[in-house]
């Protein structure tokens, strides 16, 4: 009967009138979390709920029935301690064995937003929002405040609100939609960004008094050769990137954040994606894209703090102070013409990539992580890595040292009218300056042999503010 049987409330007054009975009140819990989080934030690393302190939502705090809470209270301080640890994902002393899958928690209140250097989770739900006609600056601020509070709860594996999915008044809509009730945090991260139109519409309208705060670099990306952009798949005043190891957890996050926005903002476009799955036995291997090749071998890694500082985080003096510690997010929906690709010879495929398909090694030799040797030539004198190959054109060495932190996902959105898979790569990259992406993409758009097999149909750029401080909200400095 533990775990959220709500029928018992029918025979009594609504729990909404009984807040004082709840030993784990919100205020009480928040204070404890402040202390518990301090350590996690300092290291900036993920914590894991130990197997001995399993705490999926619906069984740890939010979903505990009143009967369950009384039981916990009876167990005294030790019981409460476990409840808090499970809530916040603080590393608990596990009795034995590995932590359960899905129990990873990434701290929300950090210097930088999570979901950027965070190890890429398995699933993505990305949504771009437009503010409602008539929305005010106060609406925007309140929305960001509400999103911040909700994101902090969701990423900790908690339901939305004070009562969650099933604990609220019986004659009111539940605060949380409930489809993630009982699921663990699943490594959820929520990352919020601001589009150019938030600052000034294409018609030059400054809806929220933000035009003077717009970073000079936050303008629409240029049109690249070959772009076939669809208006319905680009732009947006705001964006949310939700990543998790469970699609239901990522979907639940976007759905509830969208619900919170009702009347203030609505989804403009969205994209679901999948990538490396934690259920594989080779979870440390580089995942493959839908061309069947390993993707992201030469990516910026979180374990390279100097590289991340140089190429990912906006530095002091780069632009307006409110964005310091943030980043720029580029999203590109890249449709792959899978069926055409599948009819090309392995030689053509490897020549296009400049890497082998199996191992992912550069065609100049070695293994996956061997640096490509762009100068080496074969018997014919031609370069082993073709001039038009993807690996050459995208490589930092060919782009004045420019690096991107790529974080894309594969997508398959059914099929088109001809029965071809509507599939491809939802490219996401984070960079200190949008010009980093523009530099690389311009080289690719002009010369990449892969262009025969891909089509860029969606594009967006967002400024991603730094992380929120506890008690504040995402983007607060923009409104200071």
Residues 91-130 interacting with a second copy (rule: CB under 8 A):
100-103, 122, 125, 127, 129
Residue with tokens 């993807």: 390
Residues 187, 100: contact at Cβ < 8 Å?
Answer: no
Write down the least CB distance from residue 216 to a second copy, Å.
30
Which residues lie across from 362 on neighbouring strands?
355
Write down the least CB distance from residue 357 to a second copy, Å.
5
Could you say whether residue 337 binds a second copy (CB under 8 A)?
no
Could you say whether residue 195 binds a second copy (CB under 8 A)?
no
Could you say whether residue 361 binds a second copy (CB under 8 A)?
yes
Nearer to a second copy, 178 or 408 (CB): 178
Contact set for a second copy, span 406-435 (CB under 8 A)? 410, 412-415, 418-421, 423
Residue with tokens 């018992």: 8
Residue choice 278, 299, 304, 398 for contact with a second copy (CB under 8 A): 278
Q: What are the strands, taking DSSP E only, across 30-73?
A: 47-48
SS3 track for 357-383: CCCCCECCCCCCCCCCCCCCECCCCCE
Write down the least CB distance from residue 141 to a second copy, Å.
21
Residue choice 21, 28, 339, 452 for contact with a second copy (CB under 8 A): 339
Count Cβ neighbours within 10 Å for each residue of 46-78 and write b for 16 or more, e otherwise.
bbbbbeebbbbbbbbbbbbbeebbeebeeeeee
Q: Which stretch binds a second copy (CB under 8 A): 273-281, 396-404, 429-437, 470-478?
A: 273-281
Alpha carbon distance 247, 249 (integer Å): 5
Residue choice 174, 195, 215, 465 for contact with a second copy (CB under 8 A): 174
Residues 126, 240: contact at Cβ < 8 Å?
Answer: yes
- Residue 238's nearest CA partner among 202, 274, 199 is 199
Could you say whether residue 45 binds a second copy (CB under 8 A)?
no
Contact set for a second copy, span 454-473 (CB under 8 A)? none
Residues 465, 478: contact at Cβ < 8 Å?
Answer: yes
Structure tokens at 17: 């009138």
Nearer to a second copy, 149 or 412 (CB): 412
Q: Which stretch binds a second copy (CB under 8 A): 306-314, 360-368, 386-394, 427-435?
A: 360-368
Could you say whether residue 143 binds a second copy (CB under 8 A)?
no
Could you say whether residue 22 binds a second copy (CB under 8 A)?
no
Alpha carbon distance 209, 121 (integer Å): 36
Alpha carbon distance 6, 172 (integer Å): 14
Could you say whether residue 302 binds a second copy (CB under 8 A)?
no
Residues 424, 454: contact at Cβ < 8 Å?
Answer: yes
Residue choice 1, 20, 78, 306 for contact with a second copy (CB under 8 A): 1
Specify the 3-state DSSP secondary structure of 7.
helix
Residue choice 358, 369, 377, 446 for contact with a second copy (CB under 8 A): 358
- Residue 8's nearest CA partner among 65, 53, 61 is 65
State the angle between helix axes of 247-260 and 137-155 in degrees (0 to 180), rounded to the nearest 10. Answer: 150
Could you say whether residue 313 binds a second copy (CB under 8 A)?
no
Could you say whether residue 168 binds a second copy (CB under 8 A)?
yes
Q: Draw the binding track, 225-254, toward a second copy (x: CB under 8 A; -: no contact).
A: --------------------xxxx--x--x
Write down the least CB distance from residue 52 to a second copy, Å.
12
Could you say whether residue 13 binds a second copy (CB under 8 A)?
no
Residue choice 48, 166, 239, 240 for contact with a second copy (CB under 8 A): 166
Residue choice 66, 81, 141, 179 for contact with a second copy (CB under 8 A): 179
Residue choice 270, 297, 337, 439 for contact with a second copy (CB under 8 A): 270
C-alpha distance from residue 355 to each of 182, 214, 282, 287, 343 (Å): 43, 41, 20, 14, 18
**What number of residues does the chain have?**
480
Contact set for a second copy, span 362-391 (CB under 8 A)? 363, 365, 367
**Residue 60 CA to chain centroid, in angstroms?**
25
């Amino acid at each position: 009967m533990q775990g959220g049987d709500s029928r018992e409330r029918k025979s009594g007054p609504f729990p909404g009138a009984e807040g004082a009975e709840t030993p784990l009140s919100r205020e009480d819990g928040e204070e404890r979390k402040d202390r518990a989080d301090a350590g996690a934030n300092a290291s900036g690393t993920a914590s894991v709920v130990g197997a001995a302190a399993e705490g999926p939502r619906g069984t740890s705090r939010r979903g505990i029935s009143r009967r369950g809470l009384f039981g916990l209270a009876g167990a005294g301080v030790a019981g409460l301690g476990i409840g808090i640890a499970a809530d916040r994902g603080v590393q608990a002393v596990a009795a034995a064995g590995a932590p359960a899958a899905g129990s990873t928690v990434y701290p929300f209140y950090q210097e930088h937003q999570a979901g950027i250097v965070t190890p890429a989770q398995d699933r993505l739900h990305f949504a771009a929002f437009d503010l409602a006609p008539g929305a005010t600056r106060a609406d925007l601020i309140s929305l960001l405040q509400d999103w911040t509070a909700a994101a902090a709860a969701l990423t900790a594996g908690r339901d939305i609100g004070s009562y969650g999915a099933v604990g609220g008044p019986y004659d009111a809509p539940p605060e949380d939609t409930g489809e993630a009730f009982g699921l663990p945090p699943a490594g959820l991260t929520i990352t919020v960004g601001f589009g150019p139109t938030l600052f000034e519409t294409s018609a030059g309208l400054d809806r929220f008094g933000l035009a003077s705060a717009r970073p000079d670099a936050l303008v629409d990306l240029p049109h690249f050769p070959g772009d076939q952009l669809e208006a319905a798949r680009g732009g947006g005043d705001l964006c949310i990137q939700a990543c998790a190891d469970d699609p239901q957890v990522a979907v639940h996050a976007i759905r509830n954040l969208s619900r919170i926005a009702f009347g203030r903002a609505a989804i403009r476009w969205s994209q679901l994606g999948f990538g490396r799955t934690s259920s594989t036995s080779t979870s440390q291997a580089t995942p493959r894209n839908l061309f069947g090749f390993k993707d992201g071998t030469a990516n910026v890694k979180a374990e390279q703090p100097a590289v991340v500082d140089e190429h990912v985080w906006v530095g002091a003096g780069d632009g307006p102070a409110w964005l310091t510690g943030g980043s720029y997010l580029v999203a590109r929906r890249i449709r792959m013409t899978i069926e055409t690709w599948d009819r090309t010879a392995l030689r053509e495929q490897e020549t296009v990539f400049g890497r082998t398909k199996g191992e992912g090694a550069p065609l100049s030799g070695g293994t996956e992580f061997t640096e490509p040797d762009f100068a080496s030539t074969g018997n014919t004198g031609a370069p082993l890595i073709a001039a038009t190959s993807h690996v050459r054109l995208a490589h930092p060495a060919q782009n004045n040292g420019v690096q991107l932190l790529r974080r894309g996902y594969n997508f398959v959105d059914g099929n088109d009218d001809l029965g071809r898979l509507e599939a491809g790569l939802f490219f996401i990259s984070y960079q200190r300056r949008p010009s980093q992406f523009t530099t690389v993409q311009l080289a690719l758009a002009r010369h990449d042999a892969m262009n025969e097999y891909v089509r860029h149909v969606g594009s967006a750029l967002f400024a991603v503010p730094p992380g929120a401080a506890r008690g504040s909200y995402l983007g607060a400095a923009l409104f200071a």
